[in-house]
Chain A
């Protein structure tokens, strides 16, 4: 579990002192009921296709993951060694719940699943991600997506 108070040093200080950005604005986009929403997943696990150009440190770019990508085609190029990878190795869904999203769509709990999902590499200054994120938003809207679920590692 990640309750900082439960962790030993130096891990507790390492996590507590990771720089993170502050924002003045409080954006709030609303939408239709979940049953009508088209939803994409945005991961910061540096997931990529095997033949993608690897993520490089300090860059804020993304890789796209087609919704029908087999789990066997995805690898994790994240630079950090401070999170568990064994869960991902045993089941992609613990990081990118493709199967769970489709089950919710088939059950009618959400409207539909996006054609493409996206992955960034965490441990990156959000400012470095801004241009790519705004460009990605255009691709998401072109796919009819109105909502996103963001998934860290």
Chain B
């Protein structure tokens, strides 16, 4: 991010920016930056909180009028607002009761049956979120949710499905399918009022759902497939782009196959 500021200023454009990782900004030294103590992925702090977002935005833009640089790196003084539940240390929880993942997920077709059951329970909430927000962020894969399930679960059943988009590698197609699957779950789970943090949402998805457990099973499968096929993106996807670093601690318990997840 700070590199872009250097290039734009060099071209004659004044810049200010949000900083999410302060040590990186200290190193890159853009002319003006406002470090904010928010989660990665939320540079304005909190969704659906216009007043707080405006406060962050005004503070970052105000740096453009300062005369005491370069370099200015200020700290935003407030944490992002939290929901009532989080204020009471109860945290966010998914309000949708899903069937617990069966113990025999690893059996042939087990993941697909379990994920289809979860999707059946989530669809009403996904539709509510779609109607209330007027949008979905699914769409990278170009597939519908049932097609995504078939495609992802084929890998879990030791098949190599046909690439639905010949214009990109199979690894890239799998990455987009997985991102759309995760988006479906998150959008449904976030449909009811109450703010979640990203960590809470990840803890629910990776810790409580069959689809989350499928990510750990997919890890060694995609890694082995990359070794066999030479698909470099598939290798990166398997090891870096499939499961967040903060959720990899679950891998040993969840994964009984292959080496990559142990």
Partners in one complex: yes
List A residues at the B interface (Cβ < 8 Å): 1-4, 7-8, 10-11, 14-16, 18, 20-23, 25-31, 33-34, 37, 39, 42, 44, 50, 54, 56-57, 70-72, 74-77, 79-95, 97, 99-101, 103-104, 109-110, 120, 122, 126-127, 129-130, 133-134, 136-138, 140-141, 145-153
Contact B50 A150 (CB under 8 A): no
Closest 9 CB pairs of A and B: A84-B198, A126-B3, A27-B9, A84-B41, A137-B11, A91-B47, A83-B41, A150-B17, A83-B40
B42 to A, closest residue via Cβ: A87
* Chain A residues closer than 8 Å to B7, beta-carbon distance: 126, 129-130, 133-134, 137
Q: B137, A89: Cβ atoms under 8 Å? A: yes
CA distance A118 to B26 in the complex (A): 24
Judged by a CB distance under 8 angstroms, whether B18 is at the interface is yes
Interface residues of B in 185-226 (CB under 8 A from A): 186-187, 190, 196-199, 201-202
Q: Taking CB as reference atom, which chain A residue is nearest B9?
A: A27
Residues of B within 8 A of A50 (CB): 139
- B1 and A147: CB pair below 8 A? no
Name the residue among A75, A84, A95 with the largest chain B CB count within 10 angstroms.
A84
Interface size class of B (residues with CB under 8 A): 35 or more
**Distance in Å from the Cβ of A16 to the closest Cβ of chain B?**
7
Could you say which of A37, A88, A122, A140 contacts B137, with CB atoms under 8 Å apart?
A: A88
- The yes or no answer to B110 lying at the interface (CB within 8 A) is no
With the chains together, A30 CA to B40 CA distance in Å? Answer: 29
Report whether A44 and B1 are in contact in the complex, using a CB–CB cutoff of 8 Å. yes
A84-B198, A91-B47, A137-B11 known; A72+B134 contact, CB < 8 A: yes
Given A54-B176, A90-B47, A146-B14, do A153 and B40 touch, yes or no (CB 8 Å)?
A: yes
Q: How far is the CB of A24 from chain B (nearest CB, A)?
A: 9
Interface pair B54/A28, CB less than 8 Å apart: no
B37 with A87: CB separation less than 8 A: no
On whether the beta carbons of A23 and B3 are closer than 8 Å, the reply is yes
Q: Which residues of A contact B40 (CB under 8 A)?
A: 2, 15, 82-84, 153
- Chain B interface residues toward A at CB < 8 A: 1-24, 27-31, 37-48, 50, 53-54, 57-58, 60-62, 64-65, 67, 69-71, 79-80, 133-140, 168, 172, 175-176, 182-183, 186-187, 190, 196-199, 201-202, 233, 236, 240-246, 248
Given known A23-B6, A27-B31, A126-B3, contact A86–B196 (CB-CB < 8 A): yes
| Candidates A27, A99, A120; contact of B10 at CB < 8 Å | A27
Contact indicator B28/A150 (Cβ below 8 Å): no
CA distance A70 to B8 in the complex (A): 27
For A141, give its contact among B12, B58, B199 (CB under 8 Å).
B12
A21 to chain B minimum Cβ distance, whole angstroms, is 5
Contact of A152 among B18, B29, B62 (CB under 8 A): B18
- Some 26 contacts from A to B, beta carbons below 8 A apart, are A2-B38, A7-B246, A10-B246, A11-B246, A23-B2, A23-B29, A25-B10, A26-B29, A27-B5, A27-B31, A42-B4, A81-B241, A83-B41, A83-B198, A84-B197, A84-B198, A85-B186, A87-B46, A89-B186, A100-B50, A100-B57, A126-B4, A133-B11, A145-B13, A150-B15, A152-B18
In the assembled complex, how far is the CB of residue B59 from the closest CB belonging to chain A, in whole angstroms?
11
- Assuming the contacts A85-B183, A90-B48, A150-B16, asked whether A97 and B10 have C-beta atoms less than 8 A apart, the reply is no
Contact A29 B9 (CB under 8 A): yes
A88 touches B41 (CB 8 A): yes
Q: 4 more A-B contacts (CB under 8 A) besides A20-B27, A86-B201, A95-B42?
A: A2-B21, A28-B69, A82-B246, A148-B14
